[in-house]
């Protein structure tokens, strides 16, 4: 019998090492939030996208219409809907544009386009700024909405409770929900959030219809100077752009959908996106057009304020906003969890354990406490004040 030479031994060793690395990589991917579950249905895509896009910003669209006017306002709303749907379609198509590879995360697509290092430097900071910033805003928005519900329901004598405590109450929900491992695990939360988005949008336009066109309604620009009109116009463009935000988690959502060469993920993903955009249209266009039609250029920057704030309406709207931002927080936090856990496990060689996830996610939620939000608290995120 012959003996194996050194070259054969090295080949066997390298092959074994390669298999071990592949197995280790698969185990890590099966643990990370974005790639751990790929059995989502097309309707998961629908309500995840609704939750990511439709927010309390829809209530400011009538005010944006007042700054834009009928012609430009309607055109910009429709063009924004079409353009953002087209760009979202592009993202869906690019998810698997390289045969045999899925771009599960934004930075992976950036690395493909710009190179391994430059892609990270371009994409990751911008994505983190958006997603962490949105999480902070939603933390404060949820706390302020809870605070308003307490104010409306608690009759005199009623002890005043600081806003920071309500933010802590809102945060306590996320100390629990943030330990759900992946997008599919938060599907129920996301569905509830999507329903709440449609609910408070429906409250806004239906209550406006019931109130009717105001006797002194006017549709001209409110600013008295050309500079003021131009400034208001661009400010309204920002309001519309903010309302149509939500593309930041598209690739990560699509990563949860199963894919084969015969049935790529873009099919069910696109079906969900179309349904989501129908819901977006049902939320945005009635609120924007009916609100402006009824109140003209005297509409408040939040349509609920123009409805003279009946208690039941404001309580319901604030409660719906709380539920919505709970779901939206989780949608925007999941890619951040994935980035942090990927860094710890792949780069710093931490073991992918429940303890690591418990510590990471608690620290992330904890950093959005009132101590870290004191600057944001000075701004008005309350939909009812």
Write down all domains in the chain, each with its CATH number in brackets: 39-382 (1.10.4160.10)
Interhelix angle 70-94/226-243, nearest 10 degrees:
30
Give phi and psi for 281, each to the nearest 5: -65, -40
Whose CA is closest to 248, among 370, 348, 333?
333
What is the Cα 175 distance to its own chain's centre? 18
Q: Residue 131 to residues 59, 124, 172: CA-CA distances in angstroms?
A: 21, 10, 20
Phi, psi of 160 (to 5 degrees): -70, 135
pLDDT tens for the 385 residues of the chain, in order: 455 555 565 555 555 566 777 777 888 888 999 988 889 999 999 999 999 988 777 888 999 999 999 999 999 999 999 999 999 999 999 999 988 889 999 999 999 999 989 999 999 999 999 888 888 888 888 888 888 888 888 877 777 888 888 888 999 999 999 999 999 999 999 999 999 999 989 988 988 888 888 888 888 888 888 888 899 999 999 889 888 887 889 999 999 999 988 899 999 999 999 999 999 999 999 999 999 999 988 888 878 778 766 778 878 888 998 999 999 999 999 999 999 999 999 889 898 898 999 999 999 998 766 555 554 555 444 444 4
Q: Could you tell me if 273 and 92 are in contact, meaning their C-beta atoms sit under 8 angstroms apart?
A: yes
- Decide if 370 contacts 144 (C-beta within 8 A): no
Measured at the CA of 150, the angle between CA 148 and CA 152, to 5 degrees, comes to 70
What is residue 384's predicted lDDT score, i.e. its pLDDT? 43
pLDDT for res 9: 59
User: Contact at 8 Å (CB) between 197 and 277?
Assistant: no
pLDDT of residue 382: 46
Residue 61 CA to residue 203 CA, distance in Å, equals 14
CB 239 within 8 Å of CB 57: yes
d(CA 222, CA 64): 12
Residue 63: closest CA among 235, 222, 300: 300
pLDDT, residue 272, reads 95
- Compute the distance between CA of residue 84 and CA of residue 87 in angstroms, rounded to an integer: 5
pLDDT of residue 152: 80
Conformational region of residue 349, where left means phi above 0, alpha means psi within -120 to 50, and beta covers everything else = left
> Side-chain half-sphere of 78: how many Cα atoms within 13 Å?
7
């Amino acid at each position: 019998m012959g003996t194996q030479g050194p070259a054969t031994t090295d080949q066997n060793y390298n092959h074994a090492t390669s298999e071990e690395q592949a197995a280790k990589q698969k185990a890590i991917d099966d643990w990370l939030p974005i790639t751990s579950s790929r059995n989502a249905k097309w309707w998961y895509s629908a309500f995840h996208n609704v939750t990511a896009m439709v927010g309390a910003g829809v209530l400011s669209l009538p005010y944006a219409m007042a700054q834009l006017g009928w012609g430009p306002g309607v055109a910009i709303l429709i063009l924004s809907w079409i353009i953002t749907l087209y760009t979202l379609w592009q993202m869906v198509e690019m998810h698997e544009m390289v045969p045999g590879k899925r771009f599960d995360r934004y930075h992976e697509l950036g690395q493909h386009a710009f190179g391994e290092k430059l892609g990270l430097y371009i994409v990751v900071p911008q994505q983190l700024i958006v997603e962490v910033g949105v999480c902070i805003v939603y933390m404060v928005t949820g706390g302020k909405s809870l605070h308003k519900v307490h104010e409306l329901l608690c009759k005199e004598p009623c002890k005043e409770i600081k806003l920071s405590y309500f933010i802590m109450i809102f945060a306590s929900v996320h100390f629990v929900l943030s330990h759900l491992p992946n997008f599919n695990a938060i599907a129920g939360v996301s569905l509830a959030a999507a329903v709440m988005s449609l609910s408070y949008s429906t409250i806004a336009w239906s209550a406006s219809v019931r109130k009717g066109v105001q006797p002194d309604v006017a549709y001209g620009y409110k600013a008295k100077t050309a500079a003021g009109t131009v400034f208001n116009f661009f400010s309204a463009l920002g309001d519309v752009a903010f309302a149509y935000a939500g593309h930041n988690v598209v690739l990560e959502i699509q990563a949860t959908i199963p894919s084969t060469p015969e049935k790529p993920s873009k099919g069910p993903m696109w079906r969900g996106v179309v349904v989501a955009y129908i819901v977006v249209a049902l939320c945005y266009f009635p609120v924007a057009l009916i609100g402006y039609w009824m109140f003209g250029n005297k509409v408040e920057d939040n349509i609920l304020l123009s409805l003279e704030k009946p208690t039941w309406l404001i309580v319901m709207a604030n409660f719906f906003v709380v539920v919505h931002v709970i779901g939206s927080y989780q949608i925007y936090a999941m890619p951040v969890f994935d980035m942090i856990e990927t860094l710890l496990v792949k780069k710093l060689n931490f073991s992918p354990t429940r303890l690591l996830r418990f510590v990471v996610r608690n620290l992330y939620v904890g950093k959005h406490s009132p101590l870290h939000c004191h600057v944001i608290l000075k701004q008005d995120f309350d939909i009812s004040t």
